Amino acid sequence: MPKSRPCIVELLLMVSLLLLLISIRVALRASILPKLFIVFYLFVLDKNTMDTLFILL
């Protein structure tokens, strides 16, 4: 169990970072600032989950 958990956490972290990069790219391609603000707001909201992920790491 302790060996499989960090792999899952790393996978979730990679997926979340990938989604963040994709959303930033889409926002830049559309050149719409509200989309960037929404992404930033969601990232701030998910700060607690990111902290728990780093604690698990």
The tokens for 16 are 């979340």
Q: Which residues contact 1 (CB under 8 A, 6 or more apart)?
A: none
Q: What percent of the chain has pLDDT over 90?
A: 4
φ/ψ (deg, to 5) at 2: -60, -25
Query: For the segment 30-55, what is each residue's pLDDT rounded down to a tens digit?
Result: 666 676 677 777 777 666 666 665 66
pLDDT higher than 60, residue 16: yes
**Which alpha helices (H) appear in 1-57, and where do they start and end?**
4-30, 33-45, 47-56
Q: Kindly list the domain boundaries of the chain, sorted by start residue.
A: 4-17+31-56
Tell me if 56 sits within 8 A of 6, measured CB to CB. yes
